[in-house]
């Protein structure tokens, strides 16, 4: 366990923040607003998003010191290195080029002798052709019936991005098609997803960067058996009903999907940064190639903002600095994300993988142990639902939880119901205000007092369009990189999940084995395995 790290990073920029923190820790947002009347200027606007961070517990001096920290860490140099395609994912010796996935056609980025943008657009064009053929009915199933159901099988980055984006952009999607997302190795997930589907009208997208992931392969095998059973066992049906998205052509072929039906991506795309690649095929099928390209355009607009805007007026940089401030200097462990848009219901789960798999690290890129807290715990649900669940703790509890509120000026097309949009946004603004300033009535009994001083940012865009979604997700990606740079960690590997995968495979074999006499785990695990073997057979 990382335990209680020593809060030092042994450099002047960090030490200045350590010395400064006690001066802000005891000041309330009310006091900060009273002494810094120009706090309303604490906002930035870019790529269609407006970030208001005036209700954060930072003074002008805090901001100056945080910016000095990120300059001392050479964030600008690291951003440039990423955009040049340098191998900044050092533990895997890979470039980190999800930004190339949204570069416009005609841009050139040569990495290791290959123009990666040309490659990206070659695959995007193939995806568009395929998606259009399915959508217009020219690609039909094995029996000649039109494809009306699309089931994406993947997990982690091969599931959360498309599933989140599909929900977010449902308003733009085909209503005569059904889209389902299967991830869990729990058979209930696939069984529920297949409920009511006609195999003759169903397309499976098996999405896996490595094509070795246990859950995905196991679900894909079960889906294959379901399809063949329904279509009379003719193996030729696979070609019409299964496509693969992967970097691993060999494993795709080994599984039995013709690589002509594979949409590729590259090892310089991390799993949790891959929704912009062919991993987004299900989203493209739902919203169409033009809307998918708008999603990419929004992300690219945020990329350009991150790459070129001054650090003190840079949305992802400010988001990252605020997170570092709370995590490292004010002892916050978590960060809530509360979108006031039902379509963003899966955004908190998506961000959990993005932020926690990226920055949940305790070793620096040079191999030395991290000696400050890293990686905040991300959680949240949509507003207003959260207000009637956990907001009580946010208002009156004893834990500091910085919040990102997310809202829109207008509802999505076809999502307007009377004055409900105004009520939704009124609630967002009310919560941010109430949390920051609390109650102001000295006659209230203690249990009715809201102390306030609970910080939040508010992110607003005009509407939840594909462009706005792309820009929002890219902002969080770059926030993650900003933090990784400050902490000196590799935000692009995920070695921590490997141990669990290996152990699960070993235990699965032990559960299936003829006898359990040679189990060599700890006594607790041995007993659990034996008990399960007895009771499950």
Give whichever of 51 and 150 is closer to ligand F6P, judged by the CB atom: 150
Q: How far is the CB of 418 from ligand F6P (least distance, A)?
A: 40
CA atoms within 13 A on the CB side of 399: 13
Give whichever of 157 and 411 is closer to ligand F6P, judged by the CB atom: 157
Distance, CA of 42 to CA of 55 (rounded, Å): 9
251 as an active site residue: the answer is no
Q: How far is the CB of 59 from ligand F6P (least distance, A)?
A: 38
63 as an active site residue: the answer is no
Q: How far is the CB of 158 from ligand F6P (least distance, A)?
A: 4
Distance, CA of 78 to CA of 307 (rounded, Å): 10
Q: What's the DSSP call for residue 141?
A: -
Give whichever of 210 and 362 is closer to ligand F6P, judged by the CB atom: 210
Smallest CA-to-CA distance from 289 within 179, 101, 129, 471 is with 129
CB 179 within 8 Å of CB 150: yes
Distance, CA of 422 to CA of 426 (rounded, Å): 6
Distance, CA of 390 to CA of 327 (rounded, Å): 21
Give whichever of 161 and 438 is closer to ligand F6P, judged by the CB atom: 161
Smallest CA-to-CA distance from 373 within 11, 14, 78, 68 is with 14
Active-site pick, 201, 215, 264, 357:
357
Q: How far is the CB of 387 from ligand F6P (least distance, A)?
A: 32
Smallest CA-to-CA distance from 154 within 119, 191, 180 is with 180
357 as an active site residue: the answer is yes
Give the helix/strand (H/E) hosting 205.
strand 202-207
Give the torsion sign (CA, 428, 433, 436, 441): negative
Using only the alpha carbons of the chain, give its radius of gyration. Answer: 25
Q: What is the DSSP string of 143-167?
A: TSPBP-EEEEE--GGGTHHHHHHHH
Active-site pick, 23, 71, 433, 501:
501
Angle in degrees, CA 280, 284, 290, rounded to 5? 125
**Nearest 5°: phi and psi at 196?**
80, 0
Smallest CA-to-CA distance from 159 within 263, 282, 242, 241 is with 282
Angle in degrees, CA 209, 288, 97, rounded to 5? 35
Give whichever of 213 and 453 is closer to ligand F6P, judged by the CB atom: 213
Binding stretches for ligand F6P (CB under 6 A): 155-158, 208-210, 213, 216, 271-272, 357, 494, 497
Give the helix/strand (H/E) hosting 188.
helix 187-194
Distance, CA of 462 to CA of 439 (rounded, Å): 31
Give whichever of 209 and 327 is closer to ligand F6P, judged by the CB atom: 209
Q: How far is the CB of 496 from ligand F6P (least distance, A)?
A: 9
Q: How far is the CB of 494 from ligand F6P (least distance, A)?
A: 5
Name, in order, each residue with C-beta under 8 angstroms of 376's C-beta and a sequence gap of 6 or more: 323, 326, 327, 332, 333, 334, 335, 355, 359
Give whichever of 359 and 456 is closer to ligand F6P, judged by the CB atom: 359
Q: How far is the CB of 182 from ligand F6P (least distance, A)?
A: 13
CB 385 within 8 Å of CB 340: no
Give whichever of 141 and 280 is closer to ligand F6P, judged by the CB atom: 280
Q: Give me the active site residues, please.
A: 357, 388, 501
């Amino acid at each position: 366990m990382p335990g209680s790290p020593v809060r030092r990073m042994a450099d002047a920029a960090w030490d200045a923040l350590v010395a400064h923190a006690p001066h802000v820790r005891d000041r309330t947002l009310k006091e900060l607003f009273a002494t810094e009347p120009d706090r309303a200027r604490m906002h930035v606007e870019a790529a269609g998003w407006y970030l208001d961070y005036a209700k954060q517990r930072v003074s002008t001096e805090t901001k100056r010191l945080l910016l000095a920290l990120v300059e001392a860490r050479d964030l600008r140099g690291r951003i440039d290195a990423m955009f040049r395609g340098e191998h900044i994912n050092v533990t895997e010796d890979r470039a980190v080029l999800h930004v190339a996935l949204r570069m416009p056609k005609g841009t050139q980025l040569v990495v290791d002798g290959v123009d990666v943008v040309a490659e990206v657009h070659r695959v995007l064009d193939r995806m568009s052709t395929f998606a259009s053929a399915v959508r217009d009915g020219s690609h039909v199933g094995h029996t000649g019936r039109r494809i009306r159901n699309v089931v994406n099988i993947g997990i982690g980055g091969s599931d959360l991005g498309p599933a989140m984006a599909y929900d977010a952009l449902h308003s733009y999607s085909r209503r005569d098609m059904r889209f389902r997302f299967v991830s869990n190795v729990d058979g209930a997930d696939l069984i529920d997803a297949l409920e009511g589907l006609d195999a003759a009208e169903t397309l499976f997208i098996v999405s896996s960067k490595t094509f070795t992931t246990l859950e995905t392969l196991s679900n894909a095998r079960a889906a294959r058996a379901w399809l063949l059973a329904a279509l009379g066992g003719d193996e030729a049906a696979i070609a019409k009903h299964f496509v693969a998205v992967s970097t691993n052509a060999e494993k795709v072929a080994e599984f039995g999907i013709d690589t002509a039906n594979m949409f590729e991506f590259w090892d310089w795309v991390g799993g949790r940064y891959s929704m912009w690649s062919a991993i987004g095929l299900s989203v493209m099928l739902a919203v169409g190639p033009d809307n998918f390209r708008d999603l990419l355009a929004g992300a690219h607009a945020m990329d350009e903002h991150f790459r070129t805007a001054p650090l003190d007026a840079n949305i992802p940089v400010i988001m990252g600095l605020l997170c570092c401030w709370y995590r490292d200097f004010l002892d916050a462990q978590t960060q809530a994300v509360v979108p006031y848009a039902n379509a963003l219901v899966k955004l908190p789960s998506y961000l959990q993988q993005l932020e926690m798999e990226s920055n949940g690290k305790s070793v620096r890129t040079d191999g030395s142990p991290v000696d400050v807290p890293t990686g905040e715990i991300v959680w949240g649900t949509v507003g207003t639902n959260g207000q009637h669940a956990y907001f009580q703790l946010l208002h009156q509890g004893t834990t500091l939880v910085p919040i990102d509120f997310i809202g829109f000026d207008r509802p999505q097309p076809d999502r307007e119901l009377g004055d409900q949009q105004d009520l939704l946004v009124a609630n967002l603004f009310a919560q941010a205000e109430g949390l920051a300033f609390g109650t102001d009535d000295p006659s209230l009994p203690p249990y009715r007092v809201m102390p306030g001083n609970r910080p939040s940012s508010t992110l607003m865009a005009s509407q939840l369009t594909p462009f706005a979604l792309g820009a929002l997700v890219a902002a969080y990606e770059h926030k993650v990189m900003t933090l990784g740079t400050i902490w000196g960690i590799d935000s692009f590997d995920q070695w921590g999940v490997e141990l669990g995968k290996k152990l699960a495979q070993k235990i699965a074999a032990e559960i299936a084995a003829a006898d359990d006499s040679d189990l060599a785990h700890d006594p607790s695990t041995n007993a659990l395995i034996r008990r399960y073997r007895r009771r499950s057979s």
